[in-house]
A and B are shown apart, each in its own frame.
Chain A
Amino acid sequence: MRHAMRGLLALVCAIALSLTFSSANARSAPVSNAMTTPTGTGCTPGQIFGNPGFETGQASPWTTTAGVINGNGSGETARTGSYFAWLDGYGTTHTDTLSQQVSIPTSCHAILFFWLHVDTQETTTVTAYDTLTVTANSTTLGTYSNLNANTGYVEKAFDLSSMAGQTVTITFTGTEDNIYATSFVIDDTALQLI
């Protein structure tokens, strides 16, 4: 009987030992690289513009002048979806704006993306009569004009990482002179945190 008990004890010990080794390996192996890696920047990545493609058909949370948000069938066409922002295109002295305020966390890099289509009645190849200016607060990121007229949309991107930790207002301002229309059509914006 005593020998039988000793055998049973050996059996239990063997099972316990086996389970201990198996459990230890199952926990530690998958995170072996992570154990020596710093925690990270803490940035929560992602796109932070509201209504980035204007697909609600409304401006909010963008702030716009009248008539900027338009849908397919209005004379221009969205790059994706059904809606877009259309600045100018009147052929008279006119200014349209489109803006949105966002906060860029200190821990993040940030990139502004948007797609731009320009068409114009202007015939000059040297003079920028009608312009679109893109700003982040008081910093001018880029300026486009009737000279950038194209048949489709082109993508633009700007690094806003220097503005981390700030509340930033991104503003598109289209300014048209008194004759010959130029349309600045914007779609699929993104302010991407990385």
Chain B
Amino acid sequence: MSATTSLRRGIALSGAAVVLAVGAGLTISAAGADAATNTSLAGTWSVVVVEHSQGGPFTRTGTFTYYQDGTGTVQTSGGFTGDLNWQQSGGSISFTFEHNLPGSGLAYGTESGTISGTTFTSTGTIDTFNSNGDETDSFEGDFTGTLQ
């Protein structure tokens, strides 16, 4: 083996090693960035809702499922069920929901917030109505969601 050939082999191997290292670095960086910032709201989330209603803060739990087509379903503690629709742009989310209340009343809420990884938070307004259509309360609702 000549000295020239040995030098060329050394340069080639070193170049390949550098490319492999850079490529691996880029791959890890890209995967990490995706996991941290690009999580979709589509999925099933355990939610905790803090309702700042007239009687003081009240905490309710529930399960919100966000379907890929922008629709979804709502289940809250107390056995109330309903539907939702949602939108997402990057890390910003918004959703509107309704669910039944005792005596054919309903709750209607609009929320907006942010999502990162397996957590979202949002704030908005929840209005409740009785079976006569009369508004019985209107209060701020703060959501924290954890991906199931």
Contact = CB atoms under 8 A, between A and B. Distances in A.
Interface size class of B (residues with CB under 8 A): 35 or more
Given A25-B27, A194-B85, A39 B135 contact: no
B108 interface: yes
Contact of A41 (B15, B83, B133, B135): B83
Nearest to A19: B23
B106 A159 contact: yes
B39 interface: yes
Contact of A22 (B26, B41, B106, B129): B26
Contacts of A38: 65, 67-68
A126 interface: no
A41 B26 contact: no
Contact of B16 (A7, A22, A30, A37): A7
B38 A29 contact: yes
A3 B9 contact: yes
A43 B97 CA distance: 13
Contacts of A8: 12
Contacts of B72: 40
B121 to A, nearest CB: 17
